[in-house]
């Protein structure tokens, strides 16, 4: 059985109060160059979000996360970044940020099925 293809991923985190630094995992972006796969999946747990920040705008945060999904997909609705090559989009999505949505450090692994790996990571890390 082959070891699989290398992939990289980052967790997308919502940090509603930057000074406190507490976060809620809200998505995963996964890139597997050889499989020609780049996808971001997101889901906001409103209860967790509001436990950290009762006044957080869950609708606006979900819209922002949806834009990240569109960028990963190369959908023109994601704006000019969505028109870039997949590797450039991935690097843009996982670049350090000081906004309410921030990526984790990039992690790597091997996969034989990138979509299934993304599903597994979403289940384990976002819930």
Q: Supply the DSSP string of 106-118, one letter for each residue.
A: -EEEEES-HHHHH
3-class SS of residue 105: coil
Place 118 in a pLDDT band, splitting at 50, 70 and 90.
Answer: very high
Range of the domain at 19: 5-126
Number of domains in the chain: 1
Judged against a pLDDT cut of 50, whether residue 1 lies above it is answered with: no
pLDDT of the residue at 20: 87
What is the mean pLDDT of the segment spanning 69-85?
97
What is the mean pLDDT of the segment spanning 60-75?
97
20 phi, psi to nearest 5 deg: -80, -35
Place 21 in a pLDDT band, splitting at 50, 70 and 90.
Answer: confident
């Amino acid at each position: 059985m082959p070891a699989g293809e290398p992939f990289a991923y980052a967790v997308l985190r919502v940090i509603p109060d930057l000074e406190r630094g507490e976060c809620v995992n809200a998505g995963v972006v996964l890139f597997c160059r050889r499989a020609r796969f780049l996808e971001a999946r997101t889901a906001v747990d409103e209860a967790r979000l509001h436990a950290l920040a009762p006044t957080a705008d869950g609708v606006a945060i979900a819209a922002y996360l949806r834009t990240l999904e569109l960028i990963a997909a190369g959908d023109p609705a994601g704006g000019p970044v969505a028109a870039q090559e997949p590797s450039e989009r991935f690097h843009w999505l996982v670049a350090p940020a000081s906004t309410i949505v921030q990526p984790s450090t990039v992690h790597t692994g091997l996969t034989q099925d990138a979509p299934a790996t993304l599903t597994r990571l979403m289940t384990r890390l976002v819930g």
